[in-house]
Amino acid sequence: MKNLLRQTFSWHAGPPAWGPAMVAGFGCALPLLLGLFSAHPGFLWASAGAFQAAQANPLHRFGMLRMLLLTGLGACSAGLGFWSASHPLISLCLFGAFGFLLAWLQRFGSEAGKLGIGLAVCLCLGQGQQGLGSLNNPYAIAMLFILGGLWVMLLAFGLRGMHGLRMWPYMPRFISILKVLKRHAKRLPQQQWRLHALGCTLAFSLAGLIVNLAELQRGYWLTLTVVTTLQLEFQGSLVRALQSSLASLGAAGLLILLGHNLQNPPLMVATMLPLIALSRALQANHYGL
């Protein structure tokens, strides 16, 4: 029992990465401050794009490629979610497809799984914000999202220059990357992955359909809660999977409670920026691929 409790509550973090943390902090600060002073909702989408792009570490070999994928695919996901919010059948199919995509990307490692989770979050935000602001064009939302990501990429290029690195790192051959991903995916039993893919598809599609049929305002709270429970670590045991889900749900609940109590926008921005920088400093550890 003592070993089980130690395994459940233990967490080993690497050394803080303050460079990516500063990129995330300054990248999100500019659109948030512009939105605070102008009261224009478009800067919220720009800050979402900046936050999404900042999830990649620009100092790593594949960091800039990940940043580009997170920005472009995240913008498409947010636009698709906004467009599908008024069509129940399209929401059902689209959320089901993204749930399957999340499970499929999780086969190829934690970083590919982070990409799938990021795209699912963008889809949830796009659907939940439909009809709440003055922006009613999914193309405008996607472009604002991309602008925020490009601002973070500009900061990332500056960080690479400060470390004496190439602006765009050397990339291995595409075939070599596919071979490594295929070798990584073979480690997972097919039956276990199929069950997980079925659960992700059904849970995410039903969550999107419920938000649409019930016409829930800011329904992303429901869909985002579902996303946090789909982060299954295949290589670990059931205890690690339960630990990951409970930690995600607990963190989401605390952030929701904190955001609900911070009704003052300047105070909310002042609280969010240090949290963003600190979380990136602790998350941007070394990874193999």
Measured distance CA(162)–CA(158) in Å, rounded = 6
pLDDT of 160 over the 80 cut: yes
H or E stretch at 233: none
At residue 287 the predicted structure's pLDDT band, cuts being 50, 70 and 90, is very low
Average pLDDT, the chain: 81
Taking alpha carbons only, the member of 126, 138, 136, 144 closest to residue 49 is 144
Average pLDDT, integer, range 247-265: 68
Name the residue with higher pLDDT: 69 or 254: 69
Q: What is the pLDDT of residue 48?
A: 92
Q: What value does the CA radius of gyration of the chain take, rounded to a whole number of Å?
A: 19
Listed range (13-17, 18-22, 145-149, 274-278) with the worst mean pLDDT = 13-17
At residue 245 the predicted structure's pLDDT band, cuts being 50, 70 and 90, is low
Taking alpha carbons only, the member of 21, 80, 23 closest to residue 208 is 80
Measured distance CA(148)–CA(228) in Å, rounded = 24
pLDDT of 33 over the 70 cut: yes
At residue 260 the predicted structure's pLDDT band, cuts being 50, 70 and 90, is low
Measured distance CA(26)–CA(155) in Å, rounded = 8
Name the residue with higher pLDDT: 227 or 289: 227
Taking alpha carbons only, the member of 102, 107, 132, 89 closest to residue 219 is 132
Average pLDDT, integer, range 151-174: 88
DSSP 55: T
At residue 4 the predicted structure's pLDDT band, cuts being 50, 70 and 90, is very low
Report if pTM > 0.75. yes
Average pLDDT, integer, range 62-74: 91
pLDDT of 1 over the 60 cut: no
At residue 78 the predicted structure's pLDDT band, cuts being 50, 70 and 90, is very high
Task: Give pLDDT tens digits for 105-123.
Answer: 888 877 788 888 889 999 9
Q: What is the pLDDT of residue 180?
A: 79
Those residues with Cβ within 8 angstroms of residue 9's Cβ, 6 or more apart along the chain or in another chain: none
Average pLDDT, integer, range 165-174: 82
- Judge contact between 269 and 36, C-beta under 8 A: yes
Q: What is the pLDDT of residue 75?
A: 94
- Judge contact between 49 and 75, C-beta under 8 A: yes
Task: Give pLDDT tens digits for 5-32.
Answer: 455 444 445 677 888 889 999 999 999 9
